[in-house]
Amino acid sequence: MVDLKCARARMVDLHLARRGITDPRVLDAFRSVPREAFVSEKLKAFAYDDVPLPLSEGQTISQPYIVAYTVQALRLQGEERVLEVGTGSGYAAAILSRLAKEVYTIERIASLAGSARDRLARLGFTNVFVSCGDGSLGWLEHAPYGAIVVSAGGPGVPPALLAQLALEGRLVIPIGPDESSQDLVTITRESEAKVREERLTGVRFVPLIGQQGWLDVSCLTGP
Ligand code: SAM
């Protein structure tokens, strides 16, 4: 029987703190959110392995180190309104909720959005709001956002997300020509007209499917 609390503390020390995650608020957020509550019963024993784990609908909950790296890059201070694209299980949204004022998270697959919404409510994450839709278009109603994080890889930066980024806000997104080769980039809005882009590292995320992402090939019918 795995002691999940010990496993969580060990994961934070071994896979986050010792690998360059230095922001104490980020480390505390990972210490406080039970990842086992975001995976299926049979995967709970693996919740603190530093690996992505399968969700339903062929999707994944990202590797903890990558979530921590991405979240740290947002440099959250605590008062921001954050947009996450790609809710999946809701785990990253739960982490973000410990670091910002409000989290708006959007998922294109209705069953995932529904179960993440129920799970987050059951666990008491009252400052997270889940919607089902195409997150490549953002969530205009609550814009502008002090930070935007995209948990799926697109061909480029969606203009809609850039338009919903507040002045001095940071957008972190994996972009690249295909699923096997993406760059995690940070975009900082320096003024109304000027943004600065910085490459952080190479990553591998599931595709961002939507109007300003990749085409949904499952909708195409053959001849
Ligand atoms: N952040 C999630 C978590 O903590 O479990 C993991 C996200 S998973 C790597 C990527 C998610 O992005 C998938 O659930 C996928 O359905 C979703 N996705 C892909 N394209 C999307 C889009 N245009 N809008 C919203 N969600 C999208």
**pLDDT value at 220 more than 70:** no
Residue 57, in any domain of the structure: yes
- Structural domain harbouring 149: 51-219
Residues with CB under 6 Å of ligand 1 are 59-62, 85-86, 88-89, 91-92, 106-109, 112, 134-136, 151-152, 205-206, 208-210, 213
Domain count, the chain: 1
CA of 166 to the centre of ligand 1 (A): 22
Neighbours of 190 (CB within 10 A): 11
Cβ(172)–Cβ(119) below 8 Å: no
Residue 38, in any domain of the structure: no
**pLDDT value at 223 more than 80:** no
Instruction: Please tell me the predicted confidence (pLDDT) of residue 205.
Output: 94
Residue 8, in any domain of the structure: no
The mean-pLDDT minimum among 33-42, 62-71, 167-176, 177-186 falls in: 177-186
Residue 43, in any domain of the structure: no
CA gap 138, 27 in Å, rounded: 28
Instruction: Please tell me the predicted confidence (pLDDT) of residue 104.
Output: 98
Nearest CA to ligand 1 atom 27: 86
Instruction: Please tell me the predicted confidence (pLDDT) of residue 180.
Output: 78
Say which CATH number the domain at 57 has.
3.40.50.150
pTM above 0.85, yes or no: yes
Q: Are strands 60-61 and 53-54 parallel, antiparallel or unpaired?
A: antiparallel
Tens of pLDDT, residues 37-55 = 999 999 999 999 999 999 9
Residue 15, in any domain of the structure: no
Q: Does the annotation mark 62 as catalytic?
A: yes
Give the number of the atom of ligand 1 that is nearest the alpha carbon of residue 135: 24
Residue 172, in any domain of the structure: yes
Residue 40, in any domain of the structure: no
**pLDDT value at 22 more than 90:** yes
Residue 25, in any domain of the structure: no
**pLDDT value at 140 more than 70:** yes
CA gap 124, 118 in Å, rounded: 10
